[in-house]
Amino acid sequence: MQTIENIEAYQSAIKEGVTVLMFSADWCPDCRVIDPFMPEVEENFKSQLKMYKVDRDQMLDLAQQLDVFGIPSFIAYRNGQEIMRFVNKERKTREQIEAFLNRVVQVSQALEEYTKSLS
């Protein structure tokens, strides 16, 4: 998973398409629990969305701006606009993360269809 290390990279990452940011930190035990399976999860969704990792401690201003205080947390964007979030301070399971990502894909597709219907 690529890492976002500055605000410019954040802005570029969320600009187009469907993007999910995963906020975590090296010291976070709940983040370490999901690390082993996240590459496979990312691979399973790579045709539908882009995923990036954000170190909450290195990007503290961004985390605060986005109200991310518990980690690991996920925020989904579509063409620069936030569409969903999975943000809390609880440990997350693979099933919960995959359910969130499936919902992100569904919401994004629904927004795409709605946008097309307005044209």
Which residues are marked as active site?
Answer: 28, 31
Please choose, from the candidates 60, 72, 68, 62, the residue with its C-alpha nearest in 3D space to the C-alpha of residue 13: 62
Spatial CB neighbours of 76, under 8 Å, sequence gap ≥ 6 = 18, 19, 20, 21, 49, 82, 83, 84, 85, 100, 104, 107, 108
* Cβ within 8 Å of residue 44, ≥6 positions away: 98
